[in-house]
A and B are shown apart, each in its own frame.
Chain A
Amino acid sequence: MINPFIYFLLFLKASLFSTGGFSNLPSLHQDLIANGWANEADFGQSIAIGQISPGPNGLWVISMGYLTYGYVGALLALIAITIPALLVLFVSAGYSRIEERTWVQGAMHGVSLAVVGLLLTVVWTILHQPGVDWKGLLIAAGAFGLAWSRKVNLLIILALAGLAGYLLYR
């Protein structure tokens, strides 16, 4: 059974230690799977739904919340992504005092690199699901290429991938 308090804290922790809408994913992935509160499929699905629905990228966690814990989960997820953003008020008050320090800039560079490494783990996880075979990997490569070109809207890329899935796996 899901403990709402722990559940909320996991979302909050993931969000507090992230920058940008997707970098909370590795932490949530680790914790929700370990607790048995989500399965691998929930992640791919909530990212896809997050891409289709409007709003900032980070709203994929709302879908994650709903998939794992209904409307309560979605609400807790929404609160968890809002709280860290309020810290910007402290940042704007204190930043001018520490921005010149070299260790701050070094530490920021370290975090940014970690975010890249962690995103790679997410890619690895998504592509290592049981349902993904060599055809799935081709679809992933195609989606990457189309997104890379910046000429095709993400919605269209996902629609094409869905069509490919329908034709290949039905």
Chain B
Amino acid sequence: MKLQDPRPSKWLLFRIWASVGLQSFGGGASTTFLIQRAFIEKHKWLTMEEFAHLWNLCILTPGINLVALTVLIGRKLGGAWGIAISLAGLLLPSALITCLLTAGFKIVENLPAIQAILRGVVPATGGIMLLVGLNFALPLFRKGSKIGVLYLLASSVLIIACALAVILLKLSVIIVILGAIFLGALFFSSKSASPLLEEGEGKQP
């Protein structure tokens, strides 16, 4: 696929990101889809391979992966300005709408009908959250079942241990994550690959 000159005007870049932000309902999958359609298929500023590489970097970055992806695509298309404009385009219009919806909700929240509706909606968010967790877990289990039963078992134990540490022991979430990083490096590093040079060790992604 032949790429076009990747130097869109600032205003065009803002408009594209704003439309991606405003059209993404129901979260991550639709946003990713819209980004691919706009930047790869419509404007041909990125190839699918580049996109996949950028996405891998975003998975290693803390925070919301899609926002990190916005930073990388913005940098490619317009340097520092591209980053600022892309972030503003993706986040400001949709954040403003989120605020207004919340403000509207505050006005009506004490109506009995709204309270009744909420008693239905809130548990539903719990069910959806369970699916979010399962979506995170499935690729890990798939990887585990390829490597071996012990690896799979250890993975399941770590998941349950993390959950219980927070619910029963009331441990801080940060401690749990740091513990998981440590245990992961200790137990899930495959022994087959040889260690590289030790210089610059301890650098966290």
Please list the residues of chain A having a beta carbon within 8 angstroms of any beta carbon in chain B: 13-22, 24, 26-27, 30, 41, 44-59, 62-63, 66-67, 71, 74, 78, 81-89, 91-92, 94-95, 97-98, 100-124, 126-127, 129, 131-132, 136-137, 139-145, 147-148, 153-155, 157-158, 160-166, 168-170
Mask: chain B, 45-74; 1 = CB below 8 Å from A; 0 = not: 000000000100111111111111111100
**Contact of B153 with A by CB under 8 A:** no
| Nearest chain B CB to A25 CB, angstrom units | 8
**Contact of B77 with A by CB under 8 A:** no
Q: How large is the interface on B (under 10, 10 to 19, 20 to 34, 35 or more residues)?
A: 35 or more
Mask: chain B, 125-148; 1 = CB below 8 Å from A; 0 = not: 111111111101100100100000
- Given known A-B contacts A74-B99, A88-B57, A110-B188, A118 and B166 have beta carbons under 8 A apart: yes
| Nearest chain B CB to A83 CB, angstrom units | 8
Which B residues, 149 to 181, have Cβ-Cβ distances below 8 Å to chain A?
Answer: 155, 158-163, 165-167, 172-174, 176-177, 179-181
Between A and B, 23 residue pairs with Cβ closer than 8 Å are: A18-B63, A44-B125, A45-B109, A47-B129, A59-B91, A85-B67, A87-B62, A91-B61, A92-B72, A94-B203, A101-B195, A107-B184, A110-B181, A111-B177, A117-B160, A132-B119, A140-B123, A143-B125, A143-B127, A148-B131, A154-B27, A161-B120, A164-B120
**Contact of B116 with A by CB under 8 A:** yes
Residues of A within 8 A of B203 (CB): 94, 97-98
Q: Which 8 A-B pairs have the closest CB atoms?
A: A110-B184, A165-B120, A55-B94, A117-B162, A84-B63, A106-B189, A161-B124, A114-B180
- Given known A-B contacts A63-B98, A66-B103, A144-B131, A87 and B116 have beta carbons under 8 A apart: no
**Contact of B182 with A by CB under 8 A:** yes
Q: B67, B101, B122, B166: which contacts A53 (Cβ < 8 A)?
A: B101
**Contact of B106 with A by CB under 8 A:** yes
Tell which of B117, B173, B205 has the most Cβ of chain A within 10 Å: B173
Residues of A within 8 A of B44 (CB): none
Please list the residues of chain B having a beta carbon within 8 angstroms of any beta carbon in chain A: 21-28, 31, 54, 57-72, 75, 83, 87, 90-91, 94-95, 97-99, 101-103, 105-106, 109, 112-113, 115-134, 136-137, 140, 143, 155, 158-163, 165-167, 172-174, 176-177, 179-191, 193, 195-196, 200, 203, 205
Once the chains are docked, how many angstroms separate the CA of A44 from the CA of B182? 32
- Total number of residue pairs linking A and B with CB closer than 8 Å: 386
Interface SS of chain A: helix
